[in-house]
Structures are given as C-alpha cells and as structure tokens.
Amino acid sequence: MSEFDQLLNQIAGEYASAPEATALKFPPDGDYLVTIKDVTRTVSKTKNGTALVWNMPSVVVSQDEYAGDEFPISFRSTPSFNLEQIKGACRVIQGGEDPTDDIQEADRILQSAKGLSFSVRIRTSKAGYHNVSLLELVDLGEEATETAG
C-alpha cells in the first residue's frame, strides 16, 4: 500500500463524517495578508468514486476593510493531482526550504501552519472557482495571533 493510500485510509477513518465543502464568501481578487486560524482535513469523492483528501486552512484577513473576514484555502492531496501545489505551499510555510516528497510529511507541515501569517493572492476563474495561492511567509507580530484567535 502506498504512502498516499495509508494516509487516505487514516484520514478517511478519522474524518468519515466531516462535512463537505460548501460555497463560501471570499474577498475580491487581489493580494491580502492573512493568518491561518485553523487547518482541517476532510475527505470527499469525485463522481467516479475517487477519494480526495483535503487540507483546508481557514485564514483570517489581517488588513484593510476585509480585516477579520475568514475564508478557506483548499489543498487537495491526491497522488496524481496538485501534488506540486501542496509542495509549493509547504515551501512557503517552511520559509523557502525545499519541500518534502513525502505526502505524510507534507500533511504534517500543512497541519503545523496554525498561527502563521502569509501574503496570499486570490484569483477567481471564469468558472467561478476561487484560487488562493500562498505567496510568502510574513511576520505580522502579536496582532496577527490575536486576530486569528
């Protein structure tokens, strides 16, 4: 059994009753400073039955008129899709260190990001999907920790 399959089985058992993602409100397209409030995992299935594991950091905007607004960033963990996205997020979380190729280590890195602050970019696709990219780890000081609760 592959590392991914082991992780999928572990998470599927732990989060079998996790809610499916729903439509959420995002700030307009642009760059924002955010702090990760929490990181949750969920499992969903595609129409053809393929299981998908999601790491979903919930972030709080730390600036401008959107300060205090909360939205998720979704990282899909599958062996064939978005592995590079997860590795890129891990690189940013680790302050530029090369990412891991180990899916379980990547999961641990994503889970450990609570309380960290980042610059992010939101772009909405023509289909209406909100794409959020972690750009850079930033130090917002004590204020960010208080905002993230």
For the ranges 64-68, 76-80, 142-146, the one whose mean pLDDT is highest: 64-68
Residue 128 lies in a domain: yes
The CATH number of whichever domain residue 133 belongs to comes to 2.40.50
Q: Give domain status of residue 55, yes or no.
A: yes
Question: Does residue 89 lie within any of the structural domains?
Answer: yes
Residue 24 belongs to a domain: no
Residue 35 inside a domain? The answer is yes
DSSP 3-state of 45:
strand
122 in any annotated domain = yes
Q: Which has the higher per-residue pLDDT, 48 or 37?
A: 37
Q: What confidence score (pLDDT) does residue 42 get?
A: 77
pTM for this predicted structure: 0.70
Count of the separate structural domains present in the chain: 1
Domain encompassing residue 89? 3-19+29-148
- Tens of pLDDT along 3-19? 777 776 776 666 566 55
Q: Within a domain: residue 135?
A: yes
d(CA 132, CA 142) in angstroms, rounded, equals 24
